[in-house]
Amino acid sequence: MHPRAPGHAAAARIADDDGRQVLLADGVIQSVAPQDALAWGSYWAAMVPPFAPRRALVLGLAGATLPHLIAHRWGSVGRLVGVDDDATLLTLVGDAGWLNVPGLEPVCADAFAFVESCRERFEYVAVDLYRGDAFPRRVLRRRFLQRLSALLDPPAWLCLNLYGPRVSPSSLEPLRTLFTVRHEMHVGENVVVHATRDSQP
């Protein structure tokens, strides 16, 4: 259950998984249906911010499981931009009604390119980018983290979903130089990291 990395058009379909509706891309679960998200939150539940963000950005939207959980926890949160690079996948989940989240604006774009060019600012940014178990190493590179920092307004909350075997103390050092790590939560083989930027970039 690992989200996709950008730049890959996956073979996507909605299927039944032990009574749950799930979004599969390249045979890997990317999201669960809105009606199943609360009962099967998995690592997505650990990514929900501890406050109601007025402006939020989700990199790796897929079937919008995280936006649904945020909306359930906090109600309407204002503007929520969800970025995914797969237009076919977005059409599939859109037609199924999975993108019906108050305030959600789906954007079809490469996440790294979007971050480089974006001039909007957000209180909360979630990074949920995988292809199978392949970790896009750029997520933890200083340049990408600097751009994320520049997009954040107070309380400047960043959340990363990382795949456990790819995470080591040294791999988080670039993050720690720019952010204060608040929580590291292990959910199965995933590590969900919450961090804040305490000063302006």
- Asked whether residue 178 is domain-assigned, the answer is yes
pLDDT tens, position by position, 53-69: 999 999 999 999 999 99
Domain membership flag for residue 90:
yes
Please give the model's pTM, rounded to 2 decimal places: 0.89
For residue 185, being part of any structural domain is answered with yes
In-domain check, residue 7: no
Which residues in 183-199 are b (16+ Cβ under 10 Å) and which e? eeeebeebbbbbbebee
pLDDT bracket for residue 166 (50, 70, 90):
low
Domain count, the chain: 1
Q: What is the CATH number of the domain that holds 63?
A: 3.40.50.150
pLDDT tens per residue across span 36-49: 888 876 889 999 99
**Domain ranges, residue 107:** 12-196
Residues in the chain: 201
Q: How far apart are CA 183 and CA 59, in angstroms?
A: 20
Average pLDDT over residues 146-174: 89
Tokens 């896009």 sit at which residue?
Answer: 136
Nearest Cα neighbor of 150 from 110, 120, 105, 189 is 120
Q: What is the C-alpha radius of gyration for the chain, rounded to an integer number of angstroms?
A: 15
CB proximity list for 112: less than 8 A, separation 6 or greater: 6, 138, 144
